[in-house]
């Protein structure tokens, strides 16, 4: 039986190299408990800045159609 068929997925190989994760809760939760903060600003400000940039790009380049009646 393969790993995909059994429902067991291998751990993300990039996590072993960088120590980062995509989900801020999985990173900040253990960091708060352990008292080790290496770069919490990246997990707190990153989504806010990314969302703002995405909104600006959408407004500037993609929202140019006719408005609904």
Contact 33, 27 (CB under 8 A): no
Position 15 in a domain:
no
Q: What confidence tens digit (pLDDT) does each residue in 1-52 have? A: 555 555 555 565 555 556 667 777 787 888 888 888 777 777 788 889 999 9
E strand or H helix at 43: helix 40-57
Question: What residue numbers bound the domain in which 28 lies?
Answer: 21-63
In a domain, 32, yes or no: yes
At residue 69 the predicted structure's pLDDT band, cuts being 50, 70 and 90, is low
In a domain, 68, yes or no: no
In-domain check, residue 29:
yes
Look up the pTM and report it. 0.51
The verdict on residue 39 lying in a domain is yes
2 domain residue, yes or no:
no
Total domains in the chain come to 1
Q: What is the mean pLDDT of residues 51-62?
A: 92
Residue 44 lies inside a defined structural domain of this protein: yes
């Amino acid at each position: 039986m393969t790993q995909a068929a059994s429902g067991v997925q291998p751990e993300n190989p990039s996590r072993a190299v960088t120590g980062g994760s995509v989900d801020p809760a999985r990173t900040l939760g253990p960091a708060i408990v352990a008292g080790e903060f290496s770069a919490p600003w990246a997990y707190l400000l990153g989504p806010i800045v990314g969302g703002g940039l995405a909104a600006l790009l959408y407004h500037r380049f993609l929202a140019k159609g006719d408005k609904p009646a």
